[in-house]
Amino acid sequence: MTTCVVALGKIGLPLAVQIASTGEHVLGVDINQKVVDLVNAGIEPFPGEEGLSERLKSVISEGLLEATTETSKAVSKASQVVIVVPVIVDEEANPDFKAIDAATNDVAKGLTKGCLVNYETTLPIGTTRQRFLPMLESESGLVCGSDFFLCYSPERVYSGRIFSDLKRYPKLVGGIDNESSKRAISFYSAVLDFDERDDLERPNGVWDLGSSEAAEMTKLVETTYRNVNIALANEFAMHAEELGIDIGPVIEASNSQPFSHIHYPGIAVGGHCIPVYPKFYLSTDIEASLPSSSILVNESMPKRAVHSLYGSEDNALDGKKIAILGAAYRNGVKETAFSGVFPLVEEVTNLGGVAVVHDPLYTNDELAELGLIGFQLGEQCDAAIVQTDHTIYAELSSSDLPGAEIIFDGRRIVDAEKLFPIRVQVLGIG
Ligand SMILES: NC(=O)c1ccc[n+]([C@@H]2O[C@H](COP(=O)([O-])OP(=O)(O)OC[C@H]3O[C@@H](n4cnc5c(N)ncnc54)[C@H](O)[C@@H]3O)[C@@H](O)[C@H]2O)c1
């Protein structure tokens, strides 16, 4: 039995490795030849995924995982296919299906009778049945539900700790029909194992959500809830600042009450997930007001951080050099999708300042490829904004930012004593 995993990115590769490490033969597909070559050489193409390097080497050396750019050929040898090609949103917040449509057409060309196709990419509700099912049927000439089977199963892991999250969270599946669900339950039960969790209402394992739509909606509910929660924390933090209150202990104390689960505020919500999926949710529930408001609040935070330095008037920064600390959207993850670094740089530039960027995960050349000007700790600057909660920023001292008079800590991570005499302003502290 061969499993084909389409897209060997930060999610697809660990998943392919997990499946292969159960002894299953896995063909991993990616359109990026460099990724395929690195995987076949047993080298992880991106840093930061706990346990991936060793586990990848091991499954490659045992011949259990092989990577290729030839999707249809790989699919033709597989009894099940898992697709984790990203869907992004365009500037008007519409989901952009180009990459996953291309992958779907390639999968369809190789589809054989009896095959199970699982989508794991986060999708707007209804996409599996209304978009992918007809594409798969028309390109393959096969009938879904009798010739092949189709299921949606959201990826719910956090990059950096994927292998432990795969065990920790129930694997949700929702088939196009009962037979598809049954086959997906049997596939995932064979390739995943689960932690015992007394806190769940049913045993941890593969959970059937009853339909592909319910499984799609679950992922959007989880992520939209987080975006709304962060927006609420940001509003609390802004009010706390006005009142001269530190929001940190307020949240900590509120969370000691059983029904409060308030996140800490942050100046930017980034990555493929939290800023994007509320927009997917809104694409079918167009009148929902809370997801829309939360997007507005969270997207306003980078501007607010810049204004907190020298005000918001035109030319308020007047040639000042502002160091943005962190390009990645979060600690330890080499990913800048929807990172707050971009709106921060834009607003610094709008106000006449010069934005330079530091990130321990990126070289100056890599930052230049992203359109950013690199900055090294120890270089002169006039002010700084902490964008990412990289662990090393907890150790920042005044000698790292010579000439700086103020640092805005948008992640509540720096140590003000180490930074003295630089004035430290923390999001949510008045
Ligand atoms: N990264 C996360 O933390 C996370 C968490 C949960 C769920 N997800 C879901 O997983 C999806 C993938 O995320 P990721 O972080 O792995 O993305 P990624 O950007 O790390 O990797 C995407 C990979 O897809 C490949 N690709 C693009 N088009 C392709 C095609 N037509 N055929 C084959 N390969 C193709 C790219 O070359 C790239 O290697 C997301 O869209 C999201 O729905 C991500």
Give the span between the Cα atoms of 27 and 64, in whole angstroms.
8
Sign for the pseudo-dihedral over CA of 118, 124, 177, 140 = negative
Whether the Cβ atoms of residue 179 and residue 145 lie closer than 8 Å to each other:
yes
Bridge partners, residue 362, by sequence:
none
Residue 40 tokens read as 């076949």
Helix (H) or strand (E) holding 123: none
CA-CA distances (angstroms) from residue 285 to 124, 281, 320?
A: 10, 6, 44
pLDDT for 92: 64
Q: Which fold is adopted by the domain 2-210? A: Rossmann fold (3.40.50)
Whether the Cβ atoms of residue 153 and residue 216 lie closer than 8 Å to each other:
no
Angle ∠(248,251,253) on CA atoms, nearest 5: 105
Q: Alpha helix locations (H) across 33-177?
A: 33-40, 52-61, 71-76, 98-110, 127, 133-140, 162-168
Give the span between the Cα atoms of 157 and 51, in whole angstroms.
14
Other residues' Cβ atoms within 10 Å of the Cβ of residue 413? 20
Q: Which residue's CA is the closest to the ligand 1 atom numbered 24?
A: 7
Cβ within 8 Å of residue 130, ≥6 positions away:
none
Q: Which fold is adopted by the domain 302-426? A: Rossmann fold (3.40.50)
Give the span between the Cα atoms of 192 and 394, in whole angstroms.
36
Cβ within 8 Å of residue 253, ≥6 positions away:
none
Long-range (24+ apart) CB contacts under 8 A made by 260-265 are 261/229, 262/229, 262/232, 262/233, 262/236, 263/226, 263/229, 263/230, 263/233, 264/233, 264/412, 264/428, 265/230, 265/233, 265/234, 265/236, 265/237, 265/412, 265/427, 265/428
CA-CA distances (angstroms) from residue 27 to 2, 231, 382?
A: 7, 41, 52
Whether the Cβ atoms of residue 200 and residue 111 lie closer than 8 Å to each other:
no
Read off the amino acid at residue 131.
R
Helix (H) or strand (E) holding 224: helix 212-243
Q: Which atom of ligand 1 is nearest to the CA of 45?
A: 39
The tens place of each residue's pLDDT in the chain, 430 residues long, gives 899 999 999 999 999 999 999 999 999 999 999 999 999 999 999 988 999 999 999 999 999 999 999 999 999 999 999 999 999 877 666 889 999 999 999 999 999 999 999 999 999 999 999 999 999 999 999 999 999 999 999 999 998 999 999 999 999 999 999 999 999 999 999 999 999 999 999 999 999 999 999 999 999 999 999 999 999 999 999 999 999 999 999 999 999 998 899 998 988 888 878 999 999 999 999 999 999 999 999 999 999 999 999 999 999 999 999 999 999 999 988 999 889 999 999 999 999 999 999 999 999 999 999 999 999 999 999 999 999 999 999 999 999 999 999 999 999 999 999 999 999 999 888 6
Q: Is 141 left (phi over 0), alpha (psi -120 to 50) or beta?
A: left
Where along the chain do its domains lie?
2-210, 220-295, 302-426
Q: Is the CB of 250 under 6 A from ligand 1?
A: no
- Among 5, 6, 31, the mutation site with the greatest number of ligand 1 atoms within 8 A of its Cβ is 31
Bridge partners, residue 5, by sequence:
28, 82
Q: Is the CB of 32 under 6 A from ligand 1?
A: yes
Q: Which residue's CA is the closest to the ligand 1 atom numbered 7?
A: 155
Is 405 exposed, middle or buried (CB count within 10 Å of its CB: 0-12, 13-18, 19+)?
middle
- Among 29, 44, 83, 84, the mutation site with the greatest number of ligand 1 atoms within 8 A of its Cβ is 84
Read off the amino acid at residue 383.
A
Q: Which atom of ligand 1 is nearest to the CA of 103?
A: 31
Dist. CA 30 → ligand 1 center (Å): 10
- Among 15, 32, 83, 85, the mutation site with the greatest number of ligand 1 atoms within 8 A of its Cβ is 85
What CATH number should be reported for the domain whose range is 220-295? Answer: 1.10.1040.10
Q: Is the CB of 336 under 6 A from ligand 1?
A: no
Cβ within 8 Å of residue 387, ≥6 positions away:
267, 268, 302, 324, 325, 326, 327, 339, 340, 341, 344, 410, 411
Read off the amino acid at residue 424.
V
Asked whether this chain's domains 2-210 and 220-295 adopt the same fold, the reply is: no
Q: Which residue's CA is the closest to the ligand 1 atom numbered 30?
A: 103
Other residues' Cβ atoms within 10 Å of the Cβ of residue 141? 9
Whether the Cβ atoms of residue 306 and residue 147 lie closer than 8 Å to each other:
no
Bridge partners, residue 428, by sequence:
none
